[in-house]
Amino acid sequence: MAINVQAPDISGERQSGQDVRTQNVVACQAVANIVKSSLGPVGLDKMLVDDIGDVTITNDGATILKMLEVEHPAAKVLVELAELQDREVGDGTTSVVIIAAELLKRANDLVRNKIHPTSIISGYRLAMREACKYVDEKLAVKVEKLGKDSLINCAKTSMSSKLIGGDSDFFANLVVEAVQAVKMTNARGEVKYPIKGINILKAHGKSARDSYLLKGYALNTGRAAQGMPLRVAPARIACLDFNLQKTKMQMGVQVLVTDPRELERIRQREADMTKERIEKLLKAGANVVLTTKGIDDMALKYFVEAGAIAVRRVRKEDLRHVAKATGATAVSTFADMEGEETFDSSLLGYADEVVEERIADDDVIMIKGTKTTSAVSLILRGANDFMLDEMDRALHDALCIVKRTLESNNVVAGGGAVEAALSVYLENLAITLGSREQLAIAEFAEALLIIPKVLAVNAAKDATELVAKLRAYHHTAQTKADKKHLSSMGLDLMKGIVRNNLEAGVIEPAMSKVKIIQFATEAAITILRIDDMIKLVKDENQNDED
């Protein structure tokens, strides 16, 4: 029973029981319905216009949800869920939200049928553990069996739903090359693929197929002055995080001058301090100077005379990546312990060469042959900004997926294959249990089928028929020992048939699926546990006192 109480001692309203649950579920359904139509290779895009009229066109679940101003507290959980999936895996943001919402809806029906939330929660937990175990043990295939093509296929599967799906062959190769270029082994001997070392530069003009991969880290700025050399090799790079402008006194510092002739000397000294700093840099052997702040035009001539390249207003994150790739140390002040200003050559980073090149209409500084990790840049071309932004997001997803595939080495068939297999498996598991979790696990199994259903609906195919066929195949695969190979049957959404997706090359990293199930279940449980909502009202009197 639900009561809205205005309690005398708390200023606010309190809702409890079934009302809150239904509200939460409805809010989550609403969020899921927004991203639902963007799932799958034929998913449609969303156009989001924010309050100042900026337009974003995307079908990346995390991006859509981030741009929405979600008011409802339970729906916010789903938004955070999509962001978490984006951080952890990089792709599958839409699926995770859809599954979570479906789990909630079914849980709510169970609660209405007088099953206690605690039983449902423990049932969901059990189902989640079993599902993840089943994916790892039975459905996952080692990448070695499939070879390099599997990486390209993973990238293609990830891109299939995006704007660049039509050119996925071309982009998948770019992505796989880029990820393999940044391969490194860390101190513990593990092979890692830091995809942060892949810089994505967007340049207007030409068509999407004219995008290409550059060896080296590209900075989206030109040299600070025309007189500087276009190319420096070998490069010794200083990364600075402060102004190289005329030194000004700090705020609040007063200089009292009695003699007007002193003024000129003070000015001169201010100019000289910058000059000394630059001389220290050059003396340490730096011939490329990157700074996040400005460089005075007066100061630029010292660099020009020394034949060094100076770049001002470099983005902070770019500076960090360059520092990491070249082995430089980002310096925020020259002051040392003694109060003197020094710059040691050990703080410099090394690269084979630094060149300025023209890409499209922009000057770009390329840092090539970096010392510690190899850095690469993807130069994207495209007709307009919206297209470039969406390509950037699609490539980010694909890069993450390839990285995950390489690091975990396990893939599963895509196109609803895993969900259908798990659904059949969990249903059979539920029947064997004599405890009250049985119903919750059965609902969990049903809920997973939402993915193949939505995929089929978005592709304008008959969802009921396709999902039924799919389940029949998986049932055979799990009951008959000689039909194991049927466990990778998934949907072909172009033709509207069921096919073996491992052979067709529609694959995803197993880790992505496992995380989707884990995160969706956890989020559903979080919201399901809520049975009371107290909304506090702002107290008017307090504001007056403040």
Q: Which residues are catalytic?
A: 60, 93-94, 397
Beta partners for 412?
508
Among the listed residues 228, 221, 238, the one whose alpha carbon sits nearest the alpha carbon of residue 297: 228
Cα–Cα distance measured from residue 427 to residue 429, given in angstroms and rounded to the nearest whole number: 5
Q: What are phi and psi of 70, to 5 degrees?
A: -90, 125
Cα 243 to Cα 456: distance, rounded to the nearest angstrom: 57
**CA 446 – CA 471 distance, rounded (Å):** 11
- Radius of gyration of the CA atoms of the chain, in A: 29
How many other C-beta atoms lie within 10 A of the C-beta of residue 487?
23
Distance of CA 101 to the CA centre of its chain: 21
Token pair 């989020």 is found at 523
Q: How many helices (H) and strands (E) does the chain have?
A: 18, 23
Token pair belonging to 71: 């008011």
- Separation of alpha carbons 288 and 254, rounded Å: 36
CA-nearest of 85, 195, 146 to 411 is: 146
| Phi and psi at residue 213, to the nearest 5° | -105, 135
CA pair distance 38, 45, nearest whole angstrom = 6
Q: Measured between alpha carbons, how far is residue 61 from residues 36, 80, 248 in Å?
A: 9, 11, 48
DSSP category for residue 136: I
Alpha helices in 113-147 (DSSP H): 117-134
- Contact 420/470 with Cβ under 8 angstroms? yes
Q: Residue 223: name the closest of 354, 368, 331 by CA.
A: 354
